[in-house]
């Protein structure tokens, strides 16, 4: 979880605790290091796919004038359906982008260090990235 005000309220932090989960709070400025999908996928490309899938769902399930009157239940059905379809299409068509996000932060590189020079982290030059043993 990041440091968004709504993430660090007592009521929100109690939920993982009640389920024996230790939440990890990610400090500001670390998304590029710890959340590679947040910096590549959860940006313009994914949102474009999401917009297209949402429009398709609306076209298939309602007329334009009906959309404003959808119930909470109808929206609860639509949301996971649209996100699921979006993620499936995105993974099929943008797999290289997802792989690149993990390679850039070193998650998918060989552990022998032979490709550590391929690490690219936003805000850091290659010479500033020091990989230890």
What pLDDT digit, counting tens, does each position of 71-117 carry? 888 888 889 999 999 999 999 999 998 888 888 877 777 888 788 77
How far is 50 from 83, CA to CA, in rounded Å? 7
How far is 92 from 101, CA to CA, in rounded Å? 15
Q: Report the Cα 42 to chain-centroid distance in Å.
A: 4
pLDDT at 115: 81
CA dihedral defined by 81, 86, 37, 43, rounded to 10 degrees?
Answer: -110
pLDDT in tens, 49-71: 999 999 899 888 866 556 667 78
Q: Which of 40, 44, 75 is nearest to 58 (CA)?
A: 75
């Amino acid at each position: 979880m990041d440091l968004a005000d709504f993430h660090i309220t007592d009521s929100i932090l109690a939920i993982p605790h009640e389920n024996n989960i230790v939440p990890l709070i990610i400090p500001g400025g670390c998304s590029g290091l710890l959340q590679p999908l947040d910096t590549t996928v959860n940006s313009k490309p994914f949102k474009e796919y999401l917009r297209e899938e949402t429009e398709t769902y609306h076209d298939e399930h309602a007329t334009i004038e009906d959309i404003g009157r959808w119930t909470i239940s109808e929206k609860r059905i639509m949301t996971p359906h649209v996100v699921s379809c979006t993620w499936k299409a995105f993974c099929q068509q943008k797999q290289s982008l997802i792989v690149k996000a993990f390679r850039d932060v070193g998650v998918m590189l060989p552990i022998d260090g032979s490709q550590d020079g391929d690490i690219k982290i936003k805000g850091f030059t290659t010479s500033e990235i020091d990989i230890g043993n």
